[in-house]
Structure 1
Amino acid sequence: MTLKTDSADFRRILGHYPTGVCAVTAIQPDGMPAAMIVGSFTSVSLDPPLVAFFPDKGSSSWPKIAASEGFCVNVLGDHQEDVCRALASKDPDKFAGVAHHLSEHGTPILDGALAWIDCKFHAVHEAGDHYIAIGEVLALDIHHPGTPLLFHKGRYGRIASLG
């Protein structure tokens, strides 16, 4: 069977699947922080503990993160849409006004994130117009209680009820 759809249809249809929103952060070799927002984050393995995210090959932020030794995945809470927008921007100083501190391994942990997963790069694979970036988990923790920021049909959202 041949796929007969264009990228707009593909995006529109897959947009019906809600995703969590994460900020992937790192420290560049020059010491400056870098960040990108992803909705494509997943666990990969329990032994060893591995996670993955899928940066677009055209991303201007990905090379900054790829040049670092590791990264931190920050699970954003529904109260952090402003942080998400700041870190998704093209502003050269995305971290201006974004409260954070460094992990034991030197990656930025965002204050107020629900959870964080600190990783070193395990592997990066090409996958169409994206990469599959796999990280080996070095440390992780729940940072802030709350509910996650979601992305659905091109908009940010929140969980209305868990009951």
Structure 2
Amino acid sequence: MTQTITSLTPVPETSGRRDRLAHGPNVLFVYGTLQFDAVLKALLGRIPEQVPASAPGYRAAKLKGRVYPGLVQTGGGSAPGTVLLNLSNDEWRILDSFEDEHYELQEVPLSNGKLGWAYVWPGGDVQAAVWSASEFEDHHLEEYAARCARIAPGLAAGEPKGE
């Protein structure tokens, strides 16, 4: 069964960055570590429904000193990724807490012509290279997912990110 991306009205209960979602689609475009089932399972305790997508005019850029990328605007190209569907308010809160404080939750255009939310990197520490999901999977995923599993209970309890 093929799933289509739709715009849904968010549930009014809000927390953290989620309060910016008073209007708009209730889908999250992920382009980096959150594309991996092991990371989602570690953080959320489940793997949300997903649809392949891309964000035209953006790229997943390598960030200096980090194993995860930042979504940055470009003059062309398209960042490949996945759209997560049907996230609960608690899951949004966990993801908001998980993401680096430098990310900004913004609506971005998706390859299907609709909009989705994404954690966008506002600038600084961006390298010219495109982040490689396969390199991350080969060299960092296992350790990264284990770290996510360690911090997930605190995130779920509303504690700041940390070990």
Whichever of the two has the greater Rg, that structure is 1
TM-score norm. by structure 2 comes to 0.26
Report which of the two has the higher share of strand: 1
TM-score norm. by structure 1 comes to 0.26
Report which of the two has the higher share of helix: 2
